[in-house]
């Protein structure tokens, strides 16, 4: 487990003239996180569901606002699953590398 910072990446949306919401940009926020490898079970179960799990990021639950992506060590990851751990004040973010993004 490593303590570091990650960048949470969200999407901004605006309603167009027809009332349809469109993605208009990204928002980024740097937060402290504990970086963990995924367990063998998570790797296996994720693989069966079509994911390629790489990391579990533990962030303080109040800092997570539903972002779908994050960046760690210069690599962008998709957050495919979250879990609020009732025993701690942390939200577990399970992430897979974004294929075709940033040289991945």
Are 10 and 67 spatial neighbours (Cβ–Cβ below 8 Å)? Answer: yes
Measuring CA to CA, which residue among 90, 97, 51 is closest to residue 72?
A: 97
Least confident of 29-33, 58-62, 71-75, 98-102: 98-102
The predicted model gives 8-37 an average pLDDT of 90
Q: What is the pTM of this model?
A: 0.81
Is the pLDDT score of 60 beyond 60?
yes
**Mean pLDDT for the chain?**
86
User: Could you tell me which residue, 102 or 7, shows the higher pLDDT?
Assistant: 7
């Amino acid at each position: 487990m490593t303590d570091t910072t990650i960048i949470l990446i969200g999407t901004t949306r605006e309603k167009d003239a027809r009332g349809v919401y469109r993605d208009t940009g990204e928002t980024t926020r740097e937060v402290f996180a504990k970086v963990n490898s995924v367990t063998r079970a998570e790797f296996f179960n994720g693989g069966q569901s079509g994911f390629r799990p790489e990391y579990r990021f533990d962030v303080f639950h109040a800092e997570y606002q539903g972002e779908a992506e994050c960046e760690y060590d210069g690599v962008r990851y998709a957050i495919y699953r979250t879990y609020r751990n009732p025993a701690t004040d942390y939200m577990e973010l399970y992430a897979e590398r974004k294929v075709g993004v940033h040289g991945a």
